[in-house]
Amino acid sequence: MKKIAIILGMILLAAGTAFAAEKLLFSDNFKNYKTGADASPAWDIMNGNWEVTEEGFEGKNSGTGGFSAVGAAAGDEAWQDYILKLKFKVLEVGGDWRDGPWIGFRFLDQGTNYTLGFYASGAYLHKANEGASTGDNNPLAQYGCAVMDGKWHSLEIKAESNRIAIKIDGKGVIDILDDNLADIPAPKAGRIMLSARRFNPGTTAVVFSNVEVFGIVHTADEQTLRAKTEEKLKIQKALWEALTKKAGGIASVAGEASEDPVFIYLANWLKRIEASFKEAEQKVKVFEVETAGKTADEIEADLKTIGQRMAVFK
């Protein structure tokens, strides 16, 4: 197991030095409106009843029977990689178990967006795109939490490339790579959307405050580092593919009729390397790159060692 850990640690590109900067794109604490205002033109009311109160921006009874947030929208449809931060407090919740605060991001319309919905049982992440949507049976992710308590809660949503990372009350609770999960393409850009989702019956009322959006800007240094990492990964993967081809392929190796524990060990090793490459390629897409590692020659030597051990059983 020790040697498996060594090869996986060598090949899997771990998170490293970050160079990304953040640029404030939007901010609203709702202090510059008169009480009762609808917060226009900064906010576009698409569904429900919305007004500025002493506590913030209160929404009532917005939403539909689908899985996309709809209510009050702000921002630019061209926004791509960004971090959304806000606070919310549930004042009243409707009779459907899904009723509560729903927050949309990368929102173009109800058919193209991500939506984080707070239900009675927790937080559920959904997406819609190209005529398809996730639902009760296949959310992208979920996390058990209780926010229907009349207290303020903080939320942070980070959408960067195909990575979605979410914090609730400062705790990281969801972190996924959306590589067409649920066979639905990942939404790439869009506005933010606030919703006090109510299906029927009853009333849902939620107050939002301290809404901020920060654009994620990748510097020239990070772009250069990413390019170098992609080239390094390309070399490593070419070596691995050459080895598996010589061994007859992953399927052939894994399916070889052998009860020898060493053979099984090596076969599983190759399968783990294959999985590590897939994860590494995802990490490079979202700029999680490393600044140091073994040289291509060192990696080649290690892979040749595995090849020599595999040859004993072929």
Q: pLDDT digits over 76-102, tens only?
A: 999 999 999 999 999 999 999 999 999
pLDDT at position 292 is 42
Cα–Cα distance for residue pair 145/168, rounded to 1 Å: 9
Q: Which helix (H) or strand (E) holds 103?
A: strand 100-109
Contact 153, 45 (CB under 8 A): no
Confidence band, pLDDT 50/70/90 cuts, at residue 59: very high
Can you tell me which residue has the tokens 């009480």?
A: 35
* Signed CA dihedral, 28, 34, 35, 37: sign only: negative
Summarize pLDDT for 225-248 with one digit per residue, the tens: 777 777 777 777 777 777 667 655
Output the pTM of the full model. Answer: 0.74
What are the structural domains of the chain?
2-15+220-311 (no CATH), 21-217 (2.60.120.560)
Burial class from Cβ neighbours inside 10 Å (0-12, 13-18, 19+) for residue 149 reads exposed
Q: How far apart are CA 152 and CA 169, in angstroms?
A: 9
Tell me 107's DSSP state. E
What is residue 239's three-state secondary structure?
helix
Rounded to an integer, the average pLDDT of 141-152 is 97
Q: Could you check whether the bond before residue 101 is cis, i.e. omega within 30 degrees of 0?
A: no
Candidate from 33-37, 157-161, 278-282, 303-307 with smallest mean pLDDT? 303-307
Specify the DSSP element, H or E, that contains 11.
helix 2-11
Q: What is the pLDDT of residue 223?
A: 75
pLDDT digits (tens, 9 = 90+) for 155-197: 999 999 889 999 999 999 999 989 899 999 999 999 999 999 9
Mode of pairing for the β-strands spanning 122-129 and 141-143: antiparallel
What CA–CA distance (Å, rounded) separates 127 from 12? 29
